[in-house]
Amino acid sequence: MASDARIPAPIPPPQPKISKFKIALCQLLVTPDKERNIAHARKLIEDAARKGAKLVVLPEIWNCPLSLKNLSKYAEDIDAEAACPSISMLSEVAFRNGITLVGGSIPELSAGQLFNTCCVFGPDGKLKAKHRKLHLFDFEVPGEVAFRESDFLTAGEEPTIVDTDVGRIGIGICHDIRFPELAMLYGSRGAHLICYPGAFNMSTGELLWELMQRARAADNQLFVATCAPARDPNTSAEYITWGHSGLVGPVSVK
């Protein structure tokens, strides 16, 4: 096995409370109405829990459209005492349904900086981990499209690995999946699953989205779960996502 060849050997994770579980990937259509997005996400999470899911994953930037210049209007200060409607909903729904929830990502405003942040909640509703997107995506096709996250967002500084009721999970956001070193780090620390909320566009999605998932799973002999926003049928949208959320398992190597 590939894991047997790692030097140093993987750090063994604690025994999870749940060894076999159902995962739900909530690929929801995002609108400019934040309250509607929150209500829609809650419904999908509750539906998934009723169908037996113990781990639920939301997409990247699910509480607002992926319009870089408008992200600050929807941002929440996760660490502040002020009301954070998206975060409050995630905490409450995780607790009420007794699930582990990888809460996709939302724009986070902290100390005057804007981050793309994923929060992980346990069945007790408590925040277990917070991952800020490490690798910002700057993309340009001259004369066609330009998308520069670094003009609006601040990159995170630390990888995120979290022990949950369903096992040890590594967290990445979208463009983080393009960097094999991050997945290798998570594998070396004993993660059996990496969750990547992501919103690849129509160009990079068709070329790379599935390929990257399969590569990270095969290279590190672990599971990879991705969750994307649903593709907006409105062709006038500023950013159109590829969609195609997925779950990829490790390839058996003998």
Q: Which residues are catalytic?
A: 60, 133, 174
Q: Which of 35, 49, 216 is nearest to 121 (CA)?
A: 49
107-144: string of b/e by CB count within 10 Å (b at 16+)?
A: bbbbeeebbbbbbbbbbebebbbbbbbbbbbeeeeeee
Sequence-ordered alpha helix ranges (H) in 82-200: 85-97, 180-188
β-strand 53-57 against 145-148: which pairing, if any?
unpaired
The Cα–Cα gap between 76 and 107 comes to 7
Contact 221, 187 (CB under 8 A): yes
